[in-house]
Amino acid sequence: MIKNALVTGGCGFIGSYLVDTLIEKGITVTVVDNLSAGTTTYLQKHIKTHSAAFYQYDIRDLDNLLSIPTNFDFIFHLAAQPDVKISVSNPQIDFEINTVGTFNILELMRKKDIPNLVFAGSSGTIYGEPDLLPTPENYPLKPISNYGAAKAAAEMYCSSFASLYDLNIVCLRLGNIFGPRSTHGVMYDFFHKLNKDPSKLEILGDGKQTKSYLYISDTIEAFTHLSNNINKGYDNYNVSSDEAISVVDIANEIVNVMNLKDVTFTFNVSGGWKGGWKGDVPNTSMNIKKVRQSGWSPKISIKRGIKHYINWLSNS
C-alpha cells in the first residue's frame, strides 16, 4: 500500500494525471517539478485542498531534494527532458537531466531510506533500430539518440542501486503516450498545423514511420498496476499497445476527426534521415506479453484515442 509518494515531473503531461489518480486513491503526494515544461494548472486544486505539496526544484540539485522534510515510501520519477531533437542538439543537458537527474533520485532513495521507485523509461528509443519487431524487453539496448542512451544509462543505475542497496524498482519502458494535456508529439503538431492551414499538411520524413502508441488513461493504469505489484530488485516492462500506426495514417485520422476535405500532404525528407528527424527511430513495435501476463492490458484503441485527443485539442 502506497501512503506517501513523491512525483517528479508531476506538473507535466503524464505526471499531472498520475498525481490526480494517486490523490483519488487517498495517497499523500508531493510534487517536484522545475516547471521548465510543465504547468501548475492541474495541481492548484490539490494544493488548495492540502492533498498535495509542491516544490519548484530541479532534479539536478540533490541538496534541494534532500531538504524535503517528508518521509516518502514511493517515488514516481517522471521529470525529464523528453525531446529526442533536443538531445541531439544539446546532449549535455539531456545527460544531466535524464541520467544524472535519475542518479540523484536514486541517491535520494539511498540516503533517505525510500524503498520503492517507479521510473518512466522509454521503449521507443532504447532498442535503437531492432531487427526484431515487436521488440521484447530482453532485446539488446542499442540506442540511436542521446535521449535513448540517457534513458538506458539511467535504467542501468536503477539496476545497480536496486541490487546494492536493497531497493524495489520498476521501470516502465513507455511507448509514445498521447492524449489530453499533451503539448508535444506528432498529433499535437498535426492538429496545430491543420488548424492554421486546413488545405495542406507538412509531414516530417516520408510518412511511413510506424510506431507504438498508448493512450494516457491506459498509461496511468499501468503506473498504478505496476506500482502495486512492485518486487524486490529491478524489473522492466514495455508499456505500450500492441498496435502500431504510420504517420500518414495518423494524419488521415486527424483529418477525418477535424472533418477536413482535400488536404494535400507534403513530405519533408530534406534531412536525409530515415525517420522524421535525426535520432528518430522510424519503426517501433513493442512486445507487451510480459506486462499483459502481469495483469495489465491496454483498453483504448489508437483510433479511439486520437478522436478523444483531437476533440480535446479543438475545445481547449
Told to check if 78 binds ligand NAD by CB under 6 A, we report yes
Name which of residues 44 to 63 contact ligand NAD (CB under 6 A): 58-60
Strands 28-32 and 4-8: parallel
**Given 2, 5, 11, 167, the residue binding ligand NAD (CB under 6 A):** 11
Told to check if 93 binds ligand NAD by CB under 6 A, we report no
Q: How many angstroms separate the CA atoms of 303 and 7, rounded?
A: 30
**Given 120, 154, 248, 255, the residue binding ligand NAD (CB under 6 A):** 120
Angle ∠(15,19,21) on CA atoms, nearest 5: 115
| Number of helices and strands in the chain (H, E) | 12, 12
**Given 27, 75, 149, 174, the residue binding ligand NAD (CB under 6 A):** 174
The nearer residue to ligand NAD, 28 or 176, going by C-beta atoms, is 176
Grid cell listed for 47: 494544493
Contacts of 94 (CB under 8 A, 6+ apart): 81, 86, 87, 146, 147, 150
191 HSE (CA, 13 A, CB side):
23
Told to check if 101 binds ligand NAD by CB under 6 A, we report yes
The nearer residue to ligand NAD, 34 or 51, going by C-beta atoms, is 34
Minimum distance, C-beta of residue 295 to ligand NAD, in the bound complex (Å)? 22
Nearest to 214, CA basis, from 122, 132, 82, 305: 305
Nearest to 239, CA basis, from 9, 78, 40, 84: 78
Told to check if 298 binds ligand NAD by CB under 6 A, we report no
Told to check if 305 binds ligand NAD by CB under 6 A, we report no
Told to check if 5 binds ligand NAD by CB under 6 A, we report no
Nearest to 235, CA basis, from 178, 143, 169: 169
**Given 43, 177, 186, 248, the residue binding ligand NAD (CB under 6 A):** 177
**Given 87, 116, 122, 287, the residue binding ligand NAD (CB under 6 A):** 122
Told to check if 176 binds ligand NAD by CB under 6 A, we report yes
Minimum distance, C-beta of residue 41 to ligand NAD, in the bound complex (Å)? 11
Peptide bond into 298 cis (omega under 30): no
**Given 5, 6, 7, 13, the residue binding ligand NAD (CB under 6 A):** 13
The nearer residue to ligand NAD, 78 or 144, going by C-beta atoms, is 78
Residue where the block lists cell 519487431? 133
The nearer residue to ligand NAD, 9 or 298, going by C-beta atoms, is 9
The nearer residue to ligand NAD, 197 or 221, going by C-beta atoms, is 221
Told to check if 9 binds ligand NAD by CB under 6 A, we report yes
Strands 52-55 and 74-77: unpaired
The catalytic position among 127, 147, 157, 237 is 147
The nearer residue to ligand NAD, 194 or 239, going by C-beta atoms, is 239
Told to check if 276 binds ligand NAD by CB under 6 A, we report no
Element (H, E) at 310: helix 302-315
Minimum distance, C-beta of residue 238 to ligand NAD, in the bound complex (Å)? 11
Nearest to 39, CA basis, from 2, 5, 65, 12: 12
- Active site includes 147? yes
Whether residue 226 contacts residue 118, with contact meaning beta carbons closer than 8 Å, is answered with yes
Q: How many angstroms separate the CA atoms of 237 and 239, rounded?
A: 6
**Given 2, 5, 7, 15, the residue binding ligand NAD (CB under 6 A):** 15
The residues of the shown chain that bind ligand NAD, judged by CB under 6 A, are 9, 11-15, 33-38, 58-60, 78-82, 97, 101, 120, 122, 174, 176-177
Active-site residues: which are they? Answer: 147
